[in-house]
Structure 1
């Protein structure tokens, strides 16, 4: 009498095959030429405000510039700041100091929540005060 289970290998193959099919189905675009993948909108360093509807939004620091320099968000939006420069920066609200990332080292990120009160919040890098931007909460 054998104590091996000849069908055990077949069950593992069926489960593995099902996983592969599910993974491929998730990558499929349904054959209609459109993609279900959502890519983030790109922002530029222009002074025109950009809009964020829900979820987190990003500000990039590169070449001693905030990008976008002017950003419009909803109250309480999570803002992720990425430092792509080779020196440390901050992103600090002027006036009432409604937000402050503290030091962000090169290659690092910091996160803050947009104020819950609507308004326009000017910000700077406290290390390099010539770096300026505005967060508009509405």
Structure 2
């Protein structure tokens, strides 16, 4: 029976490894959202990333053609041209909301950045 109690204690300790009373899966790191957008086969992945206000987003271009991640309204964000095989980054807007974006070179590449 002591082995069973030790196993339960280990499971509880592992679930609360962040030091709080909640299981580790609900810690802020587990719900941080997307911090990376990939451009591949002339599409964004994910197409509708969810991020926190002011979060830095890395953009990876796996295509051979250059792409951008550019907000369609205002100047909320714009990576500028990212050559094929290269990476770039931008900072999410500080205000919560939904921000449509497009690749300025390929208008069929679209998505929506969801800031919450």
TM surpasses 0.5: yes
Match in the other structure for 2:19 = none
Aligned to 1:53: 32
- Confirm or deny that 1:83 pairs with 2:55: no
Q: What RMSD in Å do the two structures reach over aligned CA positions?
A: 1.9
- Pick 1 or 2: higher relative contact order, CA cutoff 8 A, min separation 6: 2
Q: TM-score, normalised by structure 1?
A: 0.60
Mapped partners of 1:93, 1:64: distance in 2? 17
Residue ranges of structure 2 left out of the alignment (5+ in a row): 1-13, 15-29
Q: Is the 8 A contact 1:73 1:114 kept in 2?
A: yes
Do structure 1's residue 114 and structure 2's residue 92 form an aligned pair? yes
In the alignment, the residues of structure 2 paired with residue 92 and residue 52 of structure 1 have an alpha-carbon distance, to the nearest angstrom, of: 25
Deviations 1:37-90 (A, max 9, x none): xxxxxxxxxxxxxx9517x71000000000000011110111000000010011
Helix, strand or coil: the match of 1:95?
Answer: coil
Q: Does 1:98 find its partner at 2:98? A: no
TM-score (norm 2): 0.71
